[in-house]
Amino acid sequence: MYEHNGKRFLSVRSATFAAVFFLVAGFGGGYLISAHAADITINVSSDNAQPSNVDFSPVWKAWNILNENFVPDAVATSTPIATSTAGIDQTEVWGMITGMADSLNDPYTFFLPPQQNTDFSSSMSGSFAGVGMQIDVKNDVLTVVSPLKGTPAEAAGIKSGDQILSINGVSTSGMDVNTAVDDIRGDAGTVVTLSIMRDGWSAPQIFKVTRAVINVPIVTTSTQSGGIYVIAVSQFTSNAPDLFRTALRSFVTSGDNKLILDLRGNPGGYLDAAVDMASWFLPSGDVVVTEDYDGHASNIIHRSLGYNIFNNNLKMVILVDQGSASASEIFADALRYYGVAKLVGTHTFGKGVVQELFPITDTTSLKVTVARWLGPDGLQIPHTGILPDVTATTSDAAITAGQDSQMQAAIKVLNSN
């Protein structure tokens, strides 16, 4: 909260993703992959030509100076720094690329060296080892997008909107998502210590979270009193459309006409999945979302595939909160725009940009913000998030006690129509 190998996290160019990593013990931030992942696309093309308007000679001069003169401070460190006999090596190349990405001051643009690239790919599989939360950088602070349901992060009491101030005692000030993900990640059974600040607290608190193997339930169903069917979608993964279709089939055969789609805590995923799932409610050709490339490339308009199986008797509410990001925001925004559903809950995360995943080598990639998400109305998804039609808050304690006020508000909206 990304689809990989073009996963645009949305696509190859279809892999685009709405970025959020799963904290495979660290994954980062509301994500979209367009593989077409709502946030990330995987672009396999490359152009190695040096631009004529950029002087790269300082880079090579610095490279040669380091290669010929650098002496590691082995005396001042407990472990001597390993260097190749030729001086600096491929690791410094990764550092150069990292520096270029960091210079753009964009939390969603960063380099993935071999290990992080592998971890990033595996994090979208739906099963991974970690703490089970998405993180992102919001207002220059490392922020929890959403803890996944049934994970160590949720069990520890971590919530959407929590600010992570340090990881294992190391400050996160200025830290990018990729580094944070790497620091939080670890073997199942080990503990990561997080210093967390939350709205309303006077001081940060320490959370010790034991990492575990995470198996994410993508789509679950339930029934509320009064014949109201509930479908909860935790992520827009590559297999989410098939699972969603099965859930919709059960809804249709139930004979109910009132549907609650619960996207609370859903950090996003594949754009293609979001478009496919929205297509069950929209006629063919309706605009779901547009990728605005600001003149760098032609805009890409994603339209409904036109499954459109429901008539005007359908009554639908989508539950959202500040853990609903990227693909979730695209889906909810489109269905509200066309009058299919009302939104109930709190404002969403506010992930209005698109990333592409560019392979640099066989084992490394560069994730780059390349476009903005525009809703069917032509406006960018606001950084402050999408405001619901009906505002309702709740708490974990209330939900555990069977008093989910957001769910009750959704039921009230459905019964009032």
Q: Distances from the Cα of 41 to the Cαs of 10, 81, 115, 398, in angstroms?
A: 4, 37, 20, 39
Q: Structure pTM?
A: 0.71
Instruction: Show the domain range for 394.
Output: 219-351+372-416
Instruction: Please indicate, yes or no, if residue 144 is contained in any of the structural domains.
Output: no
CA distance linking residue 109 with residue 70, whole number of Å: 29
Instruction: Please indicate, yes or no, if residue 253 is contained in any of the structural domains.
Output: yes
CA distance linking residue 149 with residue 121, whole number of Å: 21
Q: Are strands 163-167 and 170-171 parallel, antiparallel or unpaired?
A: antiparallel
pLDDT of residue 12: 26
Instruction: Please indicate, yes or no, if residue 155 is contained in any of the structural domains.
Output: no
Instruction: Please indicate, yes or no, if residue 24 is contained in any of the structural domains.
Output: no
The low-confidence residues of the chain, meaning pLDDT below 70, are: 1-49, 70-88, 121-128, 396-397, 399-401, 417
pLDDT of residue 308: 96
CA distance linking residue 90 with residue 363, whole number of Å: 12
What 3-state class would DSSP assign to 398? helix
Instruction: Please indicate, yes or no, if residue 182 is contained in any of the structural domains.
Output: no
pLDDT of residue 76: 47
pLDDT 10s digits, 336-388: 999 999 999 999 999 888 888 888 888 888 888 889 999 999 999 998 999 99
CA distance linking residue 4 with residue 385, whole number of Å: 26
Instruction: Please indicate, yes or no, if residue 2 is contained in any of the structural domains.
Output: no
CA distance linking residue 178 with residue 21, whole number of Å: 8
* Number of independent structural domains in the chain: 1
pLDDT 10s digits, 224-282: 988 899 999 999 988 999 999 999 999 999 988 999 999 999 988 889 999 999 999 99
Beta carbons of 380 and 373 less than 8 angstroms apart: yes
pLDDT of residue 32: 57
Name the phi and psi angles at 371, rounded to 5: -160, 170
**Amino acid residing at 412:** K
Assigned token pair, 83: 């260097």
What 3-state class would DSSP assign to 40? strand
Q: Distances from the Cα of 416 to the Cαs of 125, 258, 315, 409, 413, in angstroms?
A: 40, 11, 10, 11, 5
- List the one residue out of 133, 152, 145, 162 whose CA is nearest residue 208: 152
CA distance linking residue 303 with residue 284, whole number of Å: 7
Instruction: Please indicate, yes or no, if residue 261 is contained in any of the structural domains.
Output: yes
Q: Is the dihedral of CA 77, 79, 80, 86 positive or negative?
A: negative
Terminal-residue alpha carbon distance, the chain: 33
Beta carbons of 404 and 412 less than 8 angstroms apart: no
- Widest distance between CA atoms in the chain: 76
pLDDT of residue 222: 93
Instruction: Please indicate, yes or no, if residue 58 is contained in any of the structural domains.
Output: no
Residue with tokens 């006999």: 85
Radius of gyration of the chain (CA): 22
- List the one residue out of 107, 147, 114, 195 whose CA is nearest residue 26: 147
Can you give the CATH number for the domain in which 229 is found?
Answer: 3.90.226.10
**Amino acid residing at 64:** N
Q: DSSP letter for 118, please.
A: H
Assigned token pair, 80: 């001597």
Q: Distances from the Cα of 281 to the Cαs of 285, 288, 334, in angstroms?
A: 12, 11, 10
Residues 270-301, buried b or exposed e (16+ Cβ, 10 A)?
A: bbbbbbbbbbbbbeeebbbbbbbeeeeeeebe
Q: Are strands 258-262 and 315-320 parallel, antiparallel or unpaired?
A: parallel
pLDDT of residue 121: 67
